[in-house]
């Protein structure tokens, strides 16, 4: 499913995400909440996007739609060229499993289950055989620097390590998109830096990443920042040579380049 050719002669590769005038309204009776009011957005392959905005601005609503966990009230959504709104719940679940790797603030790992089994789980759903599953889950855990923790259960791992298991689980299916909602929200600053170094490394290896965050320090890792306000995109900026947050913070991402490189020793990407 889903071609890799350019869409409709638009030129260039097909974007991973294409939202066209998406609206989402909760509660259609007298108390309707217009959580999204016409969001249009294109995310090309390999982009690294931070979604920012005040509480209630529509970030999670947008993430749920992009993640195929919910559907728009109106508007168009293409994920990897697939028109998501025409899919049944079962097809939607399949697309979700195949195309998207999720990372949540609260890790969402299965308790009393080893890191290896947690990472294997999406491959079980995808119908991958036992030996291949094991091999790929092990490789993903090695990639996030946890090759020595395969049989540890979540309560035997630090918060940062648990989130790295979650990142391995998000990666293991080789998804088109990694979608992270406040991935560092429950982490101390050292663990946050580890997890962000991991995202940076995945970005450099060509992965497409969309992350929701309240924190400027986290958003500065991304190549592009999108701000939502009252259900609308109010700014969409590339992190160019000048940096898009330089007026707020003097510490650009160039300063932290050394920190990112030190994470490369966790393993090499393929
Ligand atoms: N299931 C729902 N039913 C009704 N209203 C909802 C529902 N989910 C969200 N909303 C409303 O939609 C608006 C956007 O909510 P959303 O959760 O997307 O905000 P957010 O930007 O993620 O906020 P936060 O930073 O607090 O997580 C809010 O006004 C919220 O109250
Ligand atoms: Mg939210």
Q: Where are the domains of the chain?
A: 45-71+88-266
For residue 255, what pLDDT is reported? 40
Alpha carbon distance 184, 187 (integer Å): 5
Nearest CA to ligand 1 atom 25: 55
Over 60: is that where the pLDDT of 4 sits? no
Of 83-87, 94-98, 250-254, give the range with the top mean pLDDT. 94-98
Section 127-149 average pLDDT: 97
- Cα 60 to averaged position of ligand 2 atoms, centre (Å): 4
- Cα 146 to averaged position of ligand 2 atoms, centre (Å): 29
What is the per-residue pLDDT across 107-129, written as a single tens digit (0 to 9) for each?
A: 999 999 999 999 999 999 899 99
Tell me which residue of 217, 101, 104, 220 sits closest to 163, measured CA to CA.
Answer: 104
For 85, which DSSP code? Answer: G
CATH 3.40.50.300 fits 45-71+88-266, yes or no: yes
pLDDT band of residue 245 (cuts 50, 70, 90) is low
- The ligand 1 site (C-beta within 6 Å) comprises 26-27, 33, 35, 53, 55-61
**Which is the closest atom of ligand 1 to the Cα of 228?**
21
What is the per-residue pLDDT across 60-94, written as a single tens digit (0 to 9) for each?
A: 999 999 999 999 999 999 999 999 888 888 999 98
- Cα 145 to averaged position of ligand 2 atoms, centre (Å): 29
Residue 253: count other Cβ atoms within 10 Å of its Cβ: 16
Nearest CA to ligand 1 atom 31: 56
Section 53-58 average pLDDT: 95
Q: Looking at 39-53, 87-101, 160-174, which range is the least confident one?
A: 87-101
Query: What average pLDDT does the chain have?
Result: 86
- Cα 206 to averaged position of ligand 2 atoms, centre (Å): 27
For residue 28, what pLDDT is reported? 72
Alpha carbon distance 55, 216 (integer Å): 15
Q: How far is the CA of 18 from the CAs of 75, 82, 138, 169, 249, in angstroms?
A: 11, 10, 33, 25, 31
Nearest CA to ligand 1 atom 5: 26
- Cα 55 to averaged position of ligand 2 atoms, centre (Å): 7
**Which is the closest atom of ligand 1 to the Cα of 61?**
18
């Amino acid at each position: 499913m889903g071609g890799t050719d350019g869409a409709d002669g638009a030129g260039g590769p097909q974007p991973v995400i294409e939202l066209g005038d998406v609206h989402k309204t909760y509660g259609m009776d007298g108390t309707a909440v217009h959580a999204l009011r016409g969001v249009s957005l294109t995310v090309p392959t390999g982009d690294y996007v931070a979604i920012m905005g005040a509480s209630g601005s529509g970030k999670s609503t947008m993430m749920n739609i992009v993640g195929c966990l919910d559907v728009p009230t109106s508007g168009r959504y293409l994920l990897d060229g697939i028109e998501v709104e025409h899919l049944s719940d079962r097809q939607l679940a399949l697309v979700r499993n195949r195309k998207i790797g999720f990372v949540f603030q609260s890790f969402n790992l299965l308790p009393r289950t080893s890191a290896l089994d947690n990472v294997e789980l999406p491959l079980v759903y995808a119908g991958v055989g036992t030996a291949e599953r094991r091999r790929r889950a092990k490789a993903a855990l090695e990639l996030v620097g946890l090759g020595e923790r395969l049989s540890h259960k979540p309560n035997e791992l630090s918060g940062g390590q648990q989130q790295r298991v979650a990142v391995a689980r998000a990666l293991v299916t080789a998804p088109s998109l990694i979608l992270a909602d406040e991935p560092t929200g429950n982490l101390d600053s050292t663990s946050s830096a580890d997890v962000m170094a991991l995202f940076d490394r995945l970005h450099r290896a060509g992965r497409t990443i969309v992350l929701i965050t309240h924190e400027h320090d986290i958003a500065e890792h991304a190549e592009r920042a999108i701000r939502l306000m009252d259900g609308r995109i109010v700014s969409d900026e590339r992190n160019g040579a000048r940096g898009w947050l330089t007026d707020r913070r003097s510490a650009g991402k160039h300063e932290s380049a050394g920190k990112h490189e030190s994470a490369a020793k966790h393993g090499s990407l393929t």
